[in-house]
Structure 1
Amino acid sequence: MTKYLLDSNALIDAYDKLYPIGVFGSVWEWLITSKKFFITKQVYEELMAYDGDLKIWIQGHFEKNELIDEFIAVQEYALVADFLTSSGYWSEAGSGLWLNTSKTDPWLIAYGMHDSDCVIVTHENSSNPNPNSNSNSRKEPKIPFVASKNNVQVQHLWEVFSNENAVF
């Protein structure tokens, strides 16, 4: 069974811009009743710092014991960190943006590496570092690019709706 790991930006964009709960309540009900959507402890903590109704919704639907614990993917996290620092795509400043263990993005990829049934749901665009540049990127890595280099699937929320034949 496919498991969808939700990135905080997918939830924030959906809640604030694309599918406001007051208009698209069925979308949010489907996310919960499908039992295929998960968040990591890091995403939960990130969203608890977010002011608004989304925080209340998350608290009401993702109990602490339902969250994915980082300890199951520590080895994979180390592989992601090694990729960031040794791939040559990013400078120390660029890769360093992801090497804080509270940063959500590398953990999402680590979970996807740990469990091949996981698909990361994010609204980030894949911005590849410039391979023709003589200098490494100082920009922050992006989930789609790093995930693809580590054989982890990534989808936009509307792709998930389509793949799951969701009807609202």
Structure 2
Amino acid sequence: MLYLLDANTLINAHRTWYALNRVPEFWRWILHHAEAGTVKMPPEIYAEVEAGTDDLAAWVKEAEHKKLLRLDEDADLIKVQTVLAQYGAGLTEADMITIGQDPFLIAAALGHADRRVVTAEVSSAGKQGAKRKVPNVCDSCGVPWQSPIEFINELDFTTDWDKP
């Protein structure tokens, strides 16, 4: 399985329970799975984290981290358009700003049975148009998704994961 991380997965981890300076084991675990090819971020999503000004942005800018974490694929623009269509017709420029890079994340998983989106966004079936949440758009596209907690549990993170 390839887990495609939404930017909020790393951002929320760093800002809450798994800060880089407090739980470095978590970040080594992420890199371990990235090196194994089970955790990646589409370039457009990676750029969202990289654009920050905090310790996490500095961490992702490290050449080795970037090499490991970034999905080495160009976006399939037909799939991106397919995902964008799930937000509705007549999207304005303001809508596109609201939607952001999410269609690239979902498109990277679209049509791949062995890929899953990991996002901290919460499903909200009542949201329409540009305010639709990643889980709802994933559902509309038939793309499997899960929360960061489900991801952490599924890949069994523990602070001694790398101990013999």
TM over 0.5: yes
Q: Give the secondary-structure state (helix, strand or coil) at the position aligned to 1:5.
A: strand
Which residue of 1 is the match for residue 110 of structure 2? 113
Which of 54, 62, 66 is the equivalent residue of 2:66? Answer: 62
Unmatched runs of 5 consecutive residues or more in structure 1: 131-136
CA distance in 2, matches of 1:45, 1:158: 23
Whole-angstrom CA distance in 2 between matches of 1:118 and 1:145: 17
**Contact preservation (8 Å) 2:87, 2:129:** no
Equivalent residue letter for 2:114: D
Structure 1 residues 147-158: aligned runs within 5 Å = 147-158=138-149
How big is the shift at 1:138? 5.6
Q: Is the 8 A contact 1:118 1:153 kept in 2?
A: yes
Give the distance between the partners of 1:3 and 1:138, measured in 2 at CA.
28
Stretches of structure 2 lacking an aligned partner (at least 5 in a row) = 160-164
Conserved? CA contact 2:40–2:69, under 8 Å: no
Distance 1:84 1:138, change over 3 A: closer
Counterpart contact for 2:39–2:69, Cα < 8 Å: no
- Whether 2:30 is the aligned partner of 1:31: answer yes
Distance 2:20 2:32 in 1: 15
Alpha-carbon distance in structure 2 between the residues aligned to 1:158 and 1:120: 13
Flag as ranges the 4+ runs of structure 1 deviating above 6 A: none
8 Å contact kept, 2:4–2:118: yes
Give how far 1:81 is off: 1.9
Number of residues of Structure 1 aligned to a counterpart in Structure 2: 153
* Aligned equivalents of 1:65, 1:28: Cα separation in 2: 11
The corresponding residue for 2:85 is: 82
Output the aligned Cα RMSD. Answer: 2.5
Structure 1: distance between partners of 2:115 and 2:25: 24
1:4 maps to 3
Matched-pair identity in %: 24
The residue aligned with 1:134 is none
8 A Cα contact 1:70 1:107, kept in partner: no
